[in-house]
Amino acid sequence: MEKERKGCLIMIIAIIVMAICIYIGLKQEWLFLKNIGFMSSGLMGSYVGDNYLNKESRTPKSHWKWYILFALIFTGILTWIEKTYL
């Protein structure tokens, strides 16, 4: 039970930080900060669900660095597309 509460607390803090990133990104027109706020919320939800709420299978810690790297690269590509073509 304590582990689930810790996971929920981490997720609430992450949502607050990501909302601040999105707000600053929209106000200052920093597309990458806005997009990373959107992208990292899904990644953080997956992390908390896998490590704190899931009882059976867990993704190894070493795999999360690749997921984070992929999210940053994907966010950069989406930001470039948004800035160039939209």
- As a whole number, mean pLDDT of residues 11-34 equals 95
Q: What pLDDT sits at residue 61?
A: 85
Question: What is the pLDDT confidence band of residue 54, given thresholds at 50, 70 and 90?
Answer: confident
pTM across the whole model: 0.85
Q: Could you tell me which residue, 16 or 2, shows the higher pLDDT?
A: 16
| Distances from the Cα of 42 to the Cα of 31, 61, 86, angstroms | 18, 17, 24
Measured torsion, CA atoms of residues 57, 10, 33, 42, in degrees rounded to the nearest 10:
30
Question: What is the pLDDT confidence band of residue 39, given thresholds at 50, 70 and 90?
Answer: very high
